[in-house]
Amino acid sequence: MNLLEIIDNEIKDIEELVELSKDNISELDELKNQLDETEKKIQDLEEESLYSEEFDNYSAVLTVNAGAGGVDAHDWAEILLRMYTRFLDDNDMKYEIEEISSGEEAGIKSGSIRVENFRAYANLESERGVHRLVRISPFDSNKRRHTSFAGVDVIPLIEDSEDYELNDDDIRIDVYRSSGAGGQHVNTTDSAVRVTHIPTGIVVACQAERSQLQNKIRALSLLKSKLIIREKEEKLKKLDSIRGEQVEAGWGRQIRSYVMQPYQQVKDSRTNIEVGNIQSVLDGDINIFINEYLKWRRQGLND
């Protein structure tokens, strides 16, 4: 065999190896695609398993109330309300401001947001509880560090609440002039309605509509949702799993702390998740807290 034949045979061997390699690479690519598809299905199933509670798929109403801390607490409540509207905007969730009650000096005493969105309740349930803020107070001329609190409540909008009967003697309806700041998500109205359920002391308010009648209808619907939840809690003895413990917005009760000084950190006391970029959180980036809460909740239900 001459040199040319030897070289020609070697070339053929190399070509065969190249073809085999191509086949192997093609098979590897196919296996990788199958693995990616399987991982995606597993991830989708994992995410779906987080939404297993009775009211998870419902729309919701989120309410922020100023707690201990005076004018700083009123300001903090307004900051939280803004945080939630930013979050809703960023996630294309349809919402409307139901009611805002302004503070005497600054901020708000309370504010409610109606969120009409699939799984709004599940994705906002993590926010229920006391939120604590530590910062240099902008209202303190001596620039001292202050701690203030705000309470957040979240309830599902129960679709069949119209079937719930209210006793007229058990409710008091007051009409007042709205005091909100207005804007694209709230209408100016002189027909705000506050409904008090006398036996339980539950109070709801609505100023989203220009019509006093429409505000009354929406407030009564919200009150029915709250009463239905209350009944289910009492019957099933599951306060923690349905609404969580309702506590005063003050010291030692917080579910999440937002510290601006002497360092910057947001920490959730239930999941122990910490975020150093507090401004990003206050601008509505709270998805990490929501996702970790849903995992924490599922773990608690499985224990």
Model confidence at 239, pLDDT cuts 50, 70, 90, reads very low
Band the pLDDT of 47: cuts 50, 70, 90: confident
196 located within any domain: no
**Residue 9 banded pLDDT, cuts 50, 70, 90:** low
State mean pLDDT over 98-112.
92
Rounded Cα distance, 67 and 54, in Å: 30
* Confidence label for 184 from pLDDT (cuts 50, 70 and 90): very low
Question: Is the residue at 187 inside a domain?
Answer: no
Asked, for residue 259, whether it belongs to a domain, the answer is yes
52 or 9, higher pLDDT = 52
Q: Which pLDDT does position 41 carry in this prediction?
A: 73
Sheet arrangement for strand 274-275: 94-102, 108-116, 60-66, 145-156, 129-136, 254-259, 265-268, 274-275
Most confident segment among 20-24, 83-87, 197-201: 83-87
**Domain harbouring 242, CATH code:** 3.30.70.1660
Of the listed ranges 48-57, 72-81, 82-91, 248-257, the one predicted with least confidence: 248-257
Structural domain contains residue 37:
no
Looking at residue 60, its pLDDT comes to 95
How far, in Å, CA of 197 to CA of 302, rounded? 36
Domain limits for position 275: 60-158+226-302
Domain count, the chain: 1
- pTM attached to this predicted model: 0.74
Q: What is the pLDDT of residue 158?
A: 87
Mean pLDDT of all residues in 101-129: 94
Strands 129-136 and 254-259: parallel
User: Does the structure show a pLDDT above 80 at 149?
Assistant: yes
* Between residues 53 and 61, the one the model is more confident about: 61
In a domain, 298, yes or no: yes
* Better-predicted residue by pLDDT, 73 or 33: 73
> For position 87, what pLDDT does the model report?
98
Q: How far apart are CA 116 and CA 118, in angstroms?
A: 7
Looking at the domain assignment, is residue 108 inside a domain? yes
Predicted local confidence at residue 111, as pLDDT: 95
Mean pLDDT to the nearest integer, 146-152: 96
What type of residue sits at position 86?
R
Determine, yes or no, domain membership for 239.
Answer: yes
Largest CA distance in the chain: 112
What is the average pLDDT across 35-40?
A: 73
The pLDDT assigned to 31 comes to 67
- Give 287 or 221, the one with higher predicted confidence: 287
Residue 204 lies in a domain: no
